[in-house]
């Protein structure tokens, strides 16, 4: 009885929605981090650091995050339709997300300059945004 009730209440969705959610999260978080980073760079008079940030972010995307994005998409493609939306990422990935959020908080509370924080945030934001192309392609093509 309890299992039926919980199953009925879970926010289950088709694979395609999981892919859209993954793409949206990577894109949205990437944009948010880039915006904050570029704001700090502009405020410190060092907006020119956006160029190295985008270069480093592209490297991070191609060398690290693209592999993680493809692995995450392959995992989603193995999910059955109706799987809970929270399963868009594995438990291990959700823990990593929490650790990254805590790291961001610690960095903002540190004595690092806004120039360095802006460079880090813009780099990471661009890397996430750029790597989201894999999820968008998969969602658009219905692969």
Q: Is residue 120 part of a domain?
A: yes
- pLDDT at residue number 82: 86
Q: Is residue 7 part of a domain?
A: no
Q: Is residue 3 part of a domain?
A: no
Q: Is residue 4 part of a domain?
A: no
128: confidence class by pLDDT, cuts 50, 70, 90: very high
pTM above 0.85, yes or no: yes
Structural domains in the chain (count):
1
Residue with tokens 């991070």: 60
Is-contact 47 35, C-beta < 8 A? no
Is-contact 128 29, C-beta < 8 A? yes
Q: Is residue 68 part of a domain?
A: yes
pLDDT digits 0-9 by tens, 62-103? 999 999 999 999 999 999 888 888 888 889 999 999 999 999
Across the range 108-136, mean pLDDT stands at: 97
- Residues above pLDDT 90, as percent of the chain: 81
CA atoms within 13 A on the CB side of 12: 10
Q: Is residue 5 part of a domain?
A: no
Across the range 97-110, mean pLDDT stands at: 95
- Residues above pLDDT 70, as percent of the chain: 94
Q: Is the pLDDT of residue 4 over 80?
A: no
SS3 sequence, the chain? CHHHHHHHHCCEECHHHHHHHHHHHHHHHHHHHHHHHHHHHHHCCCHHHHHHHHHHHHHHHHHHHHHHHHHHHHHHHCCCCCEEHHHHCCHHHHHHHHHHHHHHHHHHHCCCCHHHHHHHHHHHHHHHHHHCHHHHHHHHHCC
Could you list the residue range(s) of the whole structural domain that residue 93 is in? 13-141
Q: Is the pLDDT of residue 116 over 90?
A: yes
Tokens describing residue 95:
């823990």
Q: Is residue 107 part of a domain?
A: yes
Tokens describing residue 127:
């890397």
Q: Is residue 8 part of a domain?
A: no
């Amino acid at each position: 009885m309890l299992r039926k009730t919980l199953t009925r209440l879970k926010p289950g969705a088709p694979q395609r929605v999981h892919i859209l959610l993954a793409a949206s999260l990577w894109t949205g978080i990437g944009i948010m981090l880039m915006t904050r980073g570029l704001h700090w760079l502009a405020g410190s008079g060092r907006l020119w650091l956006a160029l190295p940030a985008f270069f480093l972010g592209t490297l991070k995307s191609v060398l690290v995050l693209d592999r993680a994005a493809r692995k995450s998409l392959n995992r989603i493609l193995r999910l059955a339709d109706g799987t809970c939306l929270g399963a868009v990422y594995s438990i291990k990935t959700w823990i990593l997300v929490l650790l990254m959020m805590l790291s961001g908080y610690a960095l903002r509370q540190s004595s690092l300059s806004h120039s360095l924080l802006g460079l880090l945030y813009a780099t990471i934001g661009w890397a996430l945004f750029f790597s989201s192309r894999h999820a968008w392609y998969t969602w658009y093509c219905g692969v």
